[in-house]
């Protein structure tokens, strides 16, 4: 459909632009995200501050770009870690079955019994590197769903003739899993993992907004909105621009993820 195609093209272009800005954040001709311009506190967009300045005179564009880089880092790292763990657990459970499958299913059910926010807050409360704790806690939240999808896909493919033929041919279990099952299961998981990137971005921003994420000295989209929300009537740009970038990024991730998911489902049929 034309409108969907337009949304998809916009989403790809937006994500490419945001990824490029994030990668080049330190080399862009922008002020330091921590530099304070006391003569332009809460100033609106201008030639010196394209998106305006916050209550401390810091450049909103510079802080938004650096905050978005952190959002991408947390999203990709947490989803990537969860994808590796969930794929290994799910495929092995679906292929091996028996007590291993039952024990893993019980463990996943116990993990799913905890509300995600409670689990994340409990993990980030421990001493240690905050970035690593955020990535690990989000990965732990994502692992159960990825594991279940990997297990269900493995059970479906394990019944097909090509797996039976591989067993008759005397292939080892390792080769059957890595050469026969994994190439068929991975496309399903990758499509789902792309959708999780949007959830990861929103979760990182939400934690920062609630004061549970990175320290205030580190630019984050959620932290920027939280710091300026009390001044939204006097300086709406200080909240609007970080929020708009976050919204468009998550929107674009979801649009591209849905397209990949639809393509994956079509290929499976």
pLDDT, tens digit, for every residue of 68-80? Answer: 999 999 999 999 9
Q: Give me the percent of the chain exceeding a pLDDT of 90.
A: 71
Non-local CB neighbours of 259 within 8 Å, separated by 6+ positions: 8
Residue 143 lies in a domain: yes
Residue 40 lies in a domain: no
Would the pLDDT of 199 be above 90?
yes
Residue 15 lies in a domain: no
Residue 219 lies in a domain: yes
Q: With bands split at pLDDT 50, 70 and 90, how would you rate the model's confidence at 138?
A: very high
Side-chain-facing half-sphere of 54: CA atoms under 13 Å: 26
Provide the token pair at 129: 């590197």
Residue 111 lies in a domain: yes
State which residues form the domain around 244.
Answer: 57-267
Looking at residue 180, what is its pLDDT? 83
Measured CA to CA in angstroms, residue 176 lies from 35, 159, 187 at distances of 56, 13, 17
Residue 175 lies in a domain: yes
Q: What is the pTM of this model?
A: 0.90
Residue 96 lies in a domain: yes
How many domains, in total, are found in the chain?
1
User: What is the spatial distance between Cα 198 and Cα 190, in angstroms, rounded to a whole number?
Assistant: 14
Residue 177 lies in a domain: yes
Q: Which of 68-82, 151-165, 187-201 has the lowest mean pLDDT?
A: 151-165
Check the CA dihedral 129-130-134-140 and report its sign: positive
Can you give the CATH number for the domain in which 252 is found?
1.10.3720.10
Looking at residue 263, what is its pLDDT? 67
Residue 18: Cβ-neighbour burial (10 angstroms; 0-12, 13-18, 19+): buried
Would the pLDDT of 1 be above 70?
no
User: What is the spatial distance between Cα 255 and Cα 7, in angstroms, rounded to a whole number?
Assistant: 7
Count other Cβ atoms within 10 Å, centred on residue 16.
11
Q: With bands split at pLDDT 50, 70 and 90, how would you rate the model's confidence at 4?
A: low
């Amino acid at each position: 459909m034309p409108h969907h195609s337009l949304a998809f093209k916009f989403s790809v272009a937006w994500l490419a632009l945001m990824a490029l800005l994030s990668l080049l954040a330190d080399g862009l001709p922008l002020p330091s995200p921590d530099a304070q311009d006391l003569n332009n506190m809460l100033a609106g967009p201008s030639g010196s501050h394209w998106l305006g300045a916050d209550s401390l005179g810091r450049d909103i564009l510079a802080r938004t770009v650096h905050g978005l880089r952190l959002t991408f880092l947390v999203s990709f790292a947490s989803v990537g870690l969860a994808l590796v763990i969930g794929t290994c657990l799910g495929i092995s459970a679906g292929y091996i079955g028996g007590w291993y499958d039952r024990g893993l299913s019980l463990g996943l059910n116990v993990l799913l019994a905890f509300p995600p926010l409670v689990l994340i807050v409990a993990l980030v409360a421990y001493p240690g590197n905050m970035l690593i704790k955020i990535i690990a806690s989000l990965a732990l939240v994502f692992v159960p769903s990825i594991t279940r999808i990997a297990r269900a896909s493995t059970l479906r493919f394990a019944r097909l003739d090509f797996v039976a033929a591989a067993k008759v041919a005397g292939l080892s279990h390792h080769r059957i899993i890595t050469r026969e099952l994994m190439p068929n299961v991975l496309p399903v998981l990758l499509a789902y993992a792309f959708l999780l990137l949007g959830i990861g971005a929103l979760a990182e921003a939400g934690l920062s907004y609630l004061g549970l994420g990175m320290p205030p000295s580190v630019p984050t989209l959620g932290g920027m909105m939280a710091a300026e929300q009390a001044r939204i009537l006097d300086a709406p740009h200080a909240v609007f621009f970080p929020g708009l970038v976050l919204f468009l990024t998550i929107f674009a991730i979801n649009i591209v993820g849905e397209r990949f998911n639809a393509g994956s489902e079509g290929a499976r049929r």
